[in-house]
Amino acid sequence: MSDLKKKVIVDTDMGWDDILSLLYLIKHPGIEIIGVTVTGCGETDLRWGAIIAKTLMELGHQTQATVCAGASSPLTFNHVFPQSFKNDNNDIMGLLGSLNPDITMEVDTRPAWQFMAETLDNNNGKITVLSLGGFTNLAKLLELCPTAHLDRIAEIVAMAGAVYVDGNVALLNNAQPQWDQGPVYSSNHAAEWNVFVDPLAAQQIFASKVPLTLVPLDACNYVVMTPDYIDTITATDPIATLAKNIFRKKTGSHQEGIPVPIFDPLATLIMADGLNTYQSHNAYLDVNLLETEENNQCGKTYVVNSGSRKVIIVQGVSQREFATHFADIINRDT
């Protein structure tokens, strides 16, 4: 039965929505999590992201999954989430302690890109990479492990980019006074955060030949989180309880003061074939690397006329179908 499962490496910055994604995958009968590679270029600091990932794998009895830490800084620029925002994610909005994590727990000593390369080399079948943060770890895989069997990557499915819609960098920066990091952030209405944290890494992945399915804000904006999600989770096991508590926190005491799409879980459901229908098209993509303090476009994802291979860009999805399927999987018996 295990051979029929889709083998997945999750590359993640371990934000609250990444955690929901991992909880879904833990419960999914058709998914085998091979590894979780963590980047510190995103919503959590690297050490805490790795601790959360390891804790979740233990909580879900995913003994086959390797947890590795990756990059702590991007290839270029120094784009970061506000530290107060990261601090909130570093302990899952206060929920991490209730899971009784060992804060000295050890993860695999290999850097994320080495683990990915060796896993590809040692596995004859195809492996899917689910990218839920910046692309730094994957860019380092291409750069530092050029002889790895990249042809064994079935595809990268990534929550990243804003192709035909506004980005969300300025939206978050301007949402609360303590999150204001200056004009580079406050004037950037073009970029989505997972691309903005390391636009050069994103550009390198877009330019590679590895098959890529992108789930950008164009699709995520259709699936906005509301308190209704709390009541759809009826199971009471530790995985379902944590998912329910995250929804409760994020729509209550820890809400951002702006409409918040589901983000990463949408990409996760698409990767796991959890949505029967959605709109998509194929195009070549590039990323703007020019930084300015006025009308900053750095990190903007845009369509170009040529490239190494076209990217599948998901655009239209059903919020109702997402909510129904996510709850169905989270409520499964384990």
Tokens of 67: 């947890």
**274: helix, strand or coil:** coil
pLDDT band at 1 (very low <50, low <70, confident <90, very high): very low
Q: Residue 89's closest CA among 201, 13, 7, 3? A: 13
Q: Is 32 left (phi over 0), alpha (psi -120 to 50) or beta?
A: beta
Query: What single-letter amino acid sits at 307?
Result: G
DSSP 73: S
Contact between 92 and 16 under an 8 Å Cβ cutoff? The reply is yes
Q: How far apart are alpha carbons 152 and 209 in whole angstroms? A: 12
User: Domain limits of the chain?
Assistant: 2-330
Q: Hey, what are 157's tokens?
A: 């499915």
Is the domain spanning 2-330 CATH 3.30.450.40? The answer is: no
pLDDT class for 4, splitting at 50, 70, 90?
confident
Type of residue found at 114: Q
Residue 227: other Cβ atoms inside 10 A: 12
The model's pLDDT over 94-120, given as tens digits with 9 standing for 90+, comes to 999 999 888 888 899 999 999 999 999
Whether the predicted pLDDT of 5 surpasses 90: yes
User: What is the distance between the alpha carbons of residues 264 and 301, in angstroms, rounded to a whole number?
Assistant: 18
Res 289 pLDDT > 60: yes
Question: In the predicted model, is pLDDT for residue 2 greater than 60?
Answer: no
The string of DSSP codes covering 149-175 is -GGGEEEEEEE---SSS--SHHHHHTT
pLDDT tens, 125-155? 999 999 999 999 999 999 999 999 999 999 9
Is pLDDT of 86 > 80? yes
Q: Which residues contact 34 (CB under 8 A, 6 or more apart)?
A: 7, 8, 9, 64, 65, 66, 119, 123, 127
Predicted pLDDT at 276: 87
Taking 90 as the threshold, does the pLDDT of residue 260 lie above it?
no
Q: By three-state DSSP, how is residue 17 classified?
A: helix
Output the pTM of the full model.
0.97
% residues pLDDT > 70 (the chain): 99
For residue 331, give both structure tokens: 């409520």
Tokens of 303: 């369509």
Contact 274, 325 (CB under 8 A): yes
> Phi, psi (5° rounding) for residue 288?
-75, 130
Say how many Å lie between the first and final Cα of the chain, rounded: 16
> Quick check: 285 and 312 in contact, CB under 8 A?
no
Q: What is the mean pLDDT of the chain?
A: 95
**Amino acid 13: pLDDT:** 98
Distance CA 248, CA 146 (A): 44
| pLDDT one-digit tens code per residue, 197-246 | 999 999 999 999 999 999 999 999 999 988 989 999 999 999 999 999 99
Mean pLDDT of 270-280: 95
Cα–Cα dist 227/165, whole Å: 25
